[in-house]
Amino acid sequence: MARGGLRNGAGRPGWHVRAEHCLRLNIQDLARRKLLNGGVFTWQWTNNSTGALVGAISMATGPDSARLMYSHADAPINHVVRIVKTRCNYGGSRPWFMCPRCDRRVGVLFLRAGHFMCRHCGRIAYSSQSEDQIGRMWRRQSKLERRLGESWTRPKGMHVATHNKILDSIFGCEERRELALMAFIHTRGLLQDLGF
């Protein structure tokens, strides 16, 4: 199961909780909005497609900690998370959360089983980590296609050379996907069954 089940070239197994399905606190988002300077505020999560409220948490921040106040399973939770800062090369500093479980310096804390923790303690994986080679090529191709206009047309302002490079990359993704599919079929011995 270490290769992700029966999928060819897959990463982590599919039984890990997905980071995309968890509520998270990103310290860079808080710092960008100047919410780490001290004070009490409410942080809310909404569904991107519907705009409905998914969750909310009250936070009280200080110079080196954040108090998280929320409820889980009708039980109030009041939890303190330490904040440390590292110096940047060109001046200033960057804030980090310290994971309440392992004291690891992290930028994002995930809500898992009613508690905030780092991705490693919560055994949380990103969806891309369990994709096989074909899934990775589909994701890369869709990312490239988003840069183009409808029916892969060159958007206004894009250089012809850039457009050609993106098209070459899309065709390369399709070719690698087909090669990976053929290798998968060949390793499973399905070519003989199909009459090839």
Q: What is the pLDDT of residue 3?
A: 41
Distance of CA 189 to CAs 7, 92, 165, Å?
Answer: 15, 59, 36
- Predicted pLDDT at 194: 60
- Strand-pair partners of 71: 76
Distances (CA, A) of 100 to 27, 52, 77, 87, 194: 14, 29, 14, 22, 55
Q: How far apart are CA 123 and CA 191, in angstroms?
A: 38
DSSP string, 158-169: --HHHHHHHHHH
**196 vs 191: CA distance, rounded Å:** 5
Would you say how long the chain is, in residues? 196
pLDDT digits (tens, 9 = 90+) for 157-185: 999 999 999 999 999 999 988 888 888 77
CA distance 15 to 2: 11
CA gap 104, 120 in Å, rounded: 9
Each domain of the chain, given as residue ranges in start order, spans 17-125, 131-194
Q: In what order do the strands lie in the sheet with 39-46?
A: 39-46, 53-61, 65-72, 75-87, 93-98, 105-106
Task: Return d(Cα 69, Cα 61) in angstroms, integer.
Answer: 11
Q: Provide the sign of the torsion angle of the four alpha carbons 124, 58, 27, 84, taken in this order.
A: negative
Residue pLDDT tens, the chain, 196 long: 344 444 555 555 556 777 788 889 999 999 999 998 888 999 998 887 788 888 889 999 988 999 999 988 888 889 899 999 999 998 889 999 999 999 999 999 999 888 999 999 988 887 777 777 788 888 899 999 999 988 899 999 999 999 999 999 999 999 988 888 888 777 776 555 565 5
Pairing of strands 17-18, 124-125: parallel
Check residue 153 and report its DSSP letter.
P
How many angstroms separate the CA atoms of 100 and 96, rounded? 12
pTM, entire model? 0.67
